[in-house]
Chain A
Amino acid sequence: MKVLEVNGTVGQVEIGGVRRAVDLSLVAGVKVGQFVVVHAGFALSVTDEDEAQKTLEIFAEMARRVAEADAAAGSKAGSDQ
């Protein structure tokens, strides 16, 4: 959920257009624009965007390798797909 407002230890988060009040006392230092994991009205962790990106890069790389392998297999078989 994306943090829209921070007022001390309370804030507002948004997911899919729905706004919600959230307690921020367990994630000191969280800033507007960051993403948080929320459970039962409390933010429990701040999403590490670098780590998210790293994970996504692994997936993109795997998908790319598969696409390449398919293309190679396809051209060997004389397919034009």
Chain B
Amino acid sequence: MKYMTEFRNFAAAQALSRELHSLCTGIKEIKIMEVCGGHTAAIFKYGLRDLLPPNIRLMSGPGCPVCVTSNSFLDYAMALSREPDVIIASFGDLLRVPGSHSTLLAEKSKGGDIRICYSSLDALELARKNPSKKIVFLGIGFETTAPTVAAAIKRAEAEGLKNFLVLSAFKTMPEAMKALLQSGELALNAFICPGHVSVVTGLRIYDFIARDFKTPCVVTGFEPLDLLQAILMIVRQLKDGRSTVENQYTRAALPLGNPAAQALLNEIFAPSDVEWRGLGVIPGSGLGISDAYQAFDAQKVIPLQLEPAREQPGCICGSIMRGVKVPTECKLFAKACNPENPKGSCMVSDEGNCATYYKYARNSRTTVIENEAGTS
């Protein structure tokens, strides 16, 4: 497939790997966090850790939308699903994530009207077809997904659809990266920044991290050569004593991002305090629905009082989100908790750390970089 297969070339991967080995000889350990769950999944899928010198340590961060969604959000969604005139519209992954006491899937089997959507536009269609119901779209994710939901709200407004609501837990990445650096738990040396977030936001959102925290940031794509080159760019920065924001993903992420998507974000959402699993409430890291669009805010239209949320006993997803633990340190991993029967959010999503470890790192080493002549 064009612009995928070429970025999986084995000879180039070996060349990058050798360059990294020679640059890293004799230097102390470099800790790099890949913030995005999509990057973590690619790193394992292509066995990239095996191609890195031993003194480069990759750590997985909090960039999996389902994983960082808090139990209080899930509890709210489930409570809404028990309201008589509500249809919940959600991305499929979220249905299997345990909240404090239940999952959306269990609520669905008990009669809750919960529909799986691929896009916010599917939920908009539900609103058109069910005028007597309130459609609540569960808004999770980052700057990548938020504009798509903002676009749906704009259209609902234009069409006069009053039964389309969004329960927003949208989050912005840089504040979480800052919180991780400030916690001092990790002593990170650099960030591999999320590619699709950057496609929307552009590169400037990371400037303060490179400048104020002297931490190099490289935006990259999701193919193996993208990631290896990004790591090489980071190592070069560190060796030169530089810390800047660099773009490896020049084919998709423009320096200024996607202005149309940003305009939608700024119009429909406003910065809010939001809870991240594992990181707690980070001030200003959320995208709440702005005052002008309150009529679409599920929390304003259907306010509910809930008991405080609780975490699943034994699940350490929170520590995994902060990068301080890895899935194999969880006592439930691959025993009581597995993809068929997930006990925590990180085992549910394809981008979840526990799911990635389960799939690729449980028993064997995997290196499945394709040759250029491979599948296309």
A residues adjacent to B (C-beta < 8 A): 2, 15-16, 23, 25-28, 35, 37, 39-42, 44-45, 47-49, 51-52, 54-56, 58-60, 62-63, 65-67
Contact = CB atoms under 8 A, between A and B. Distances in A.
Contacts, number: 99
A70 B254 CA distance: 37
B118 A26 contact: no
A58 B14 CA distance: 13
B12 A51 contact: no
Interface string B221-256: 000010001000000000000000000101111100
A26 to B, nearest CB: 5
Given A41-B148, A63-B9, A63-B15, A28 B260 contact: yes
Nearest to B250: A51
Contacts of A27: 258, 260
Contacts of A63: 9, 11-12, 14-15
B238 to A, nearest CB: 20
7 contacts: A23-B148, A39-B196, A42-B119, A47-B251, A55-B250, A62-B19, A66-B14
The residue among A27, A52, A60 with the most chain B CB atoms within 10 A of its own CB is A52
B235 to A, nearest CB: 14
Q: Please classify the interface of chain A as helix (H, G, I), strand (E, B), loop, or mixed, using the class held by over half of its residues.
A: mixed
Q: Please classify the interface of chain B as helix (H, G, I), strand (E, B), loop, or mixed, using the class held by over half of its residues.
A: helix
B175 interface: no
Contacts of B196: 37, 39, 44
Given A15-B1, A55-B250, 6 more contacts: A35-B3, A40-B118, A40-B141, A44-B144, A48-B250, A62-B15
B70 interface: no
A49 B250 CA distance: 10
Contact of A42 (B11, B16, B122, B147): B147
B272 interface: no
B12 A62 contact: yes
A35 B264 CA distance: 23
B121 interface: yes
